[in-house]
Amino acid sequence: MPLDWNKIKQKASDYYTEASRKVRQYTPESFSKEKKFVNSLVISMALMTMADKKAETQEVIVSIDLINEIDEIKELQMTQEAIELYEMHIETLTKAVESPVKWTIEVGKLLSEISKIKSYPEYPPMIENLIEYIANADNNLDPLEVEMRTKILGAIK
């Protein structure tokens, strides 16, 4: 049976197109403004969860519940991706807790990432309200949470 080079080229092209789409989907520079918002929101939630350098169960539950309820995330069909992104950031921050230098670098990288939302003035107030909600989820506003909230607001405003 001879090889059909046209079919092989078409299949390769299809795989390339699909791979390119997936790469673009996960590349922050190509995000739509809504995806930048979701990205910034999830990072902000992770930073607030880990502000006191531990992931408290109540804060995690509140964050995941919020991800499941936020219309922008649902409309973009990004709920599962947002939860996975949240989990990834929590894991990364948890690993960095033991080293003050690593912690500072990881927090700095995430704050830099969320600062991309500055050009969309409608989003910072929404993020501010959500991080306030998370900070108070365990009915204990820790000074470290106040400090992280200030850093997040400084990055997005």
Looking at residue 23, what is its pLDDT? 47
Closest CA to 81 of 119, 18, 17, 35: 35
40 has a pLDDT exceeding 60: yes
Confidence of residue 17 (pLDDT cuts 50, 70, 90): low
Each residue's pLDDT tens digit, 76-131? 889 999 999 999 999 999 999 999 999 999 999 999 999 999 989 999 999 999 88
